[in-house]
């Protein structure tokens, strides 16, 4: 875990940028391609500042055995504004033509693996067809979320009117790239009860904030705190893969947080924030001072207000333990789900092969009526009933139970 000095005097100091030999040609550039000054104003003492990056991102062609080059099409095969998924033999890439130029990068969205060729190309960006993440076609960088990772970018050349792509085999397999990131400086007088940036909440939003700070060269202490027992995980997957363990849906492995000095305090519930004195008070009485604060606690499931809501077989789903318990108790039982939202419908679909029967209770006549209208809602309900014959719909107000 990284640490920092306690209330040092402000000074302007020079820092040493430690760059691998293979990156010397880029030493005047920041992680995002902007000019990187060697004078860095900080709230304290001299510090050694360096950036680390996945080897694929820094130089994917340093190992000749890892490089593949192939002719993928004729220059006239693509018009401006078109995309094509091409095969290089050991993996696929997304070939793009825009403004008369060709670009090549990973073909799968790093978020959930959607085929980007089915997405939207506009103004130098490709938008994922599933959840809307955007990637710059020139750099492969993610520029709009959801998602954490960027795409690997590959070299393109034109010879005798044929388009060639030169790519890293490893990058073709992984289809993702982590941006260059800073690490916390090593300082003495480490103060456990003080941090430069405090993030309350350890979901995707909080983690994106922490990673973005490191990507922009921030090298002071970052602390994330969460009520949960686990490191940041992908909560939306709880309704899609209800028997998953926390490690299987983790947004980043444990080693990632150690490598980039992002501290995560689990089972820590913030009780109050004193913005005047910049202090957060936790439920157990622990206090932490901060310079900057982000509150990214997300939301909690809407609780039932009807009679019987507190019986032992009525559940909300927010944690992996909640989802695991529902799957276990619903097996071979009659299940009733209140609400035909995305989460409710995903849970219903997941449980159809495990439960004896699944019934969905909803106030509206059709699912997703508020989002997509009645016509689309009825089509969704029809498809659901055909593909998941164990699901039944009911229009009423009530609560869910397992029999």
Please, what is the angle between helix 374-387 and helix 342-351, to 10°?
Answer: 10
Domain boundary among 174, 201, 226: 174
pLDDT at position 387 is: 66
Mean pLDDT of 90-112: 96
Most confidently modeled range among 5-9, 34-38, 55-59, 310-314:
310-314
Among 10-19, 57-66, 74-83, 380-389, which is the least confidently predicted range? 10-19
User: Where would I find the beta strands (DSSP E) of 134-269?
Assistant: 134-136, 142-144, 153-159, 162-168, 181-182, 194-200, 222-225, 262-265
In a domain, 309, yes or no: no
- Cβ neighbours around 297 below 10 Å, total: 16
Using 50, 70 and 90 to split pLDDT, how confident is the model at 270? very high
186 or 350, which is more confident: 350
d(Cα 47, Cα 160) in Å, to the nearest integer?
Answer: 52
Can you give the pLDDT at residue 382? 80
Residue 116's nearest CA partner among 94, 149, 89, 88 is 94
40 vs 190, which has greater pLDDT? 190
The CATH number of the domain where 104 resides is what? 2.102.10.10
* Closest-CA residue to 265 (of 294, 224, 210, 319): 224
Give the rounded percent of residues in the chain with a pLDDT score beyond 90. 61
Q: Does residue 59 fall inside a structural domain?
A: no
Whether the pLDDT of residue 187 is over 70: the answer is: no
Read off the pLDDT of residues 107-132 as tens digits, 9 standing for 90 and up: 999 999 999 999 999 999 999 999 99
pLDDT recorded at residue 135:
98
Task: Cite the DSSP H helix spans in 126-187.
Answer: 169-174
131 and 42 in a single domain? The answer is no
Contact yes or no for 77/84 (Cβ under 8 A):
yes
The reply to whether 326 and 375 lie within a common domain is yes
Q: Is the pLDDT of residue 145 over 80?
A: yes
CB 195 within 8 A of CB 184: no
Domain boundary residue, one of 119, 154, 174:
174
User: 220 with 278, same domain?
Assistant: yes
DSSP secondary structure of 225-258: E-SSSSS-B-GGGGGTSTT--GGGGBSS-HHHHH
Q: How many angstroms separate the CA atoms of 179 and 172, rounded?
A: 17
More confident residue, 5 or 290: 290
- Do 265 and 334 lie in one domain? The reply is no
Integer Cα distance of 332 and 328 in angstroms:
9
User: What pLDDT score was predicted for residue 65?
Assistant: 84
Any idea which of 49-63, 97-111, 206-220, 284-298 has the lowest mean pLDDT?
49-63
pLDDT of residue 247: 95
pLDDT, position 14: 37
- Least confident residue range of 158-167, 357-366, 388-397: 388-397
* Same domain, yes or no: 46 and 121: no
Do 192 and 158 have their domain in common? no
- In this structure, of 14-28, 314-328, 329-343, the range with the lowest mean pLDDT score is 14-28
Sign of the torsion angle spanned by Cα atoms 39, 43, 45, 51? negative
Residues above pLDDT 70, as percent of the chain: 79
254 in a domain, yes or no? yes
Residue 314: inside a domain? no
**Beta-bridge partner residues of 71:** 164
Q: Which one, of 297, 372, 321, lies nearest residue 342 by Cα?
A: 372
> Between 299 and 44, whose confidence is greater?
299
Q: Please give the residue that has the higher pLDDT: either 187 or 295.
A: 295
pLDDT bin (cut points 50, 70, 90) of residue 313 is confident
pLDDT at residue 361 above 50? yes
pLDDT digits (tens, 9 = 90+) for 22-40: 333 333 333 333 322 222 2
62: confidence class by pLDDT, cuts 50, 70, 90: low
* C-beta neighbour count of 327 within 10 angstroms: 17
Quick count: other Cβ atoms within 10 Å of Cβ 403? 9
112 lies in some domain: yes
| Beta bridge mates, 69 | 166
d(CA 86, CA 106): 10
CATH number of 367's domain: 3.50.50.60
Average pLDDT over residues 192-205: 92
Residues 269 and 330 in one domain: no
> Do 49 and 81 belong to one domain?
no
What's the confidence (pLDDT) of residue 40? 28
Residues 149 and 249 grouped into a single domain? no
Contact 78, 95 (CB under 8 A): yes
Residue 398 has pLDDT above 50, yes or no: no
More confident residue, 106 or 377: 106
275's tokens: 């913005």
Based on the fold, state whether residues 69 and 44 are members of the same structural domain: no
- 92 and 195 in a single domain? The answer is no
- pLDDT of 75 above 70: yes
Query: How many domains would you assign to the chain?
Result: 3
Angle at 265 between CA 317 and CA 219, to 5 degrees: 125
pLDDT at 305 over 90: no
Q: Which of 278, 295, 312 is the last residue of a domain?
A: 295
Range of the domain at 204: 11-53+180-295
Q: Does residue 361 fall inside a structural domain?
A: yes
Torsion over CA: 384, 387, 389, 391 (sign): negative
Q: Is the pLDDT of residue 389 over 80?
A: no
pTM (predicted TM-score): 0.77
Find the mean pLDDT for residues 192-221: 94
Distance CA 79, CA 231 (A): 45
Q: Which of 65-74, 190-199, 340-349 has the highest mean pLDDT?
A: 65-74
Is 36 a member of any domain?
A: yes
For residue 135, being part of any structural domain is answered with: yes
Cα–Cα distances (Å) from 120 to 10, 81, 83, 198, 255, in that order, read 48, 10, 9, 36, 35
pLDDT at 186: 63
Taking all residues of the chain, what is their mean pLDDT, rounded to a whole number?
A: 82
């Amino acid at each position: 875990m990284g640490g920092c000095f306690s209330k040092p005097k402000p000074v302007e100091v020079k820092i040493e940028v430690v760059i691998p030999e293979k990156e010397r040609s880029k030493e005047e550039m920041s992680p995002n391609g902007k000019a990187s000054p060697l004078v860095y104003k900080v709230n304290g003492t001299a510090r050694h500042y360096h950036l680390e990056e996945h080897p694929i991102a820094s130089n994917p062609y340093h190992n000749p055995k890892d490089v593949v080059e192939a002719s993928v099409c004729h220059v006239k095969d693509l018009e401006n504004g078109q995309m094509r998924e091409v095969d290089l033999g050991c993996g696929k890439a997304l070939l793009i033509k825009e403004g008369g130029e060709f670009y090549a990068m990973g073909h799968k969205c790093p978020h959930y693996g959607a085929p980007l060729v089915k997405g939207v190309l506009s103004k130098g960006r490709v938008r994922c067809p599933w959840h809307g993440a955007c990637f710059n076609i020139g750099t492969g960088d993610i520029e709009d979320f959801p998602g954490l990772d960027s795409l690997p970018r590959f070299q393109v050349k034109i010879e005798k009117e044929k388009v060639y792509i030169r790519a890293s085999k490893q990058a073709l397999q992984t289809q993702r790239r982590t941006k260059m990131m800073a690490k916390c400086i090593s300082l003495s007088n480490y103060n456990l009860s003080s941090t430069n940036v405090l993030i309350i909440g350890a979901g995707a939003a909080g983690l994106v904030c922490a990673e973005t700070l490191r990507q922009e060269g921030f090298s002071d202490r970052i602390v994330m705190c969460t009520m949960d027992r686990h490191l940041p995980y992908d909560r939306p997957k709880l309704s899609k893969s209800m028997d998953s363990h926390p490690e299987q849906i983790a947004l980043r492995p444990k080693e990632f947080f150690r490598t980039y000095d992002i501290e995560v305090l689990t089972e820590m519930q913030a009780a109050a924030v004193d913005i005047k004195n910049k202090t957060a008070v936790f439920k157990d009485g622990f206090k932490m001072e901060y310079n900057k604060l982000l509150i990214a606690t997300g939301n909690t499931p809407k609780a039932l207000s009807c009679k019987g809501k507190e019986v032992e077989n009525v559940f909300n789903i927010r944690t992996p333990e909640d989802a695991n318990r529902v799957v276990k108790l619903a097996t071979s039982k009659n299940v009733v789900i209140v609400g035909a939202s995305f989460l409710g419908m995903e849970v219903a679909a997941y449980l159809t092969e495990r439960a004896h029967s699944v019934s969905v209770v909803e106030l509206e006549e059709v699912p997703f009526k508020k989002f997509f209208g009645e016509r689309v809602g009825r089509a969704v309900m029809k498809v659901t009933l055909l593909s998941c014959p164990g699901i039944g719909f009911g229009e009423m107000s009530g609560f869910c139970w397992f029999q």
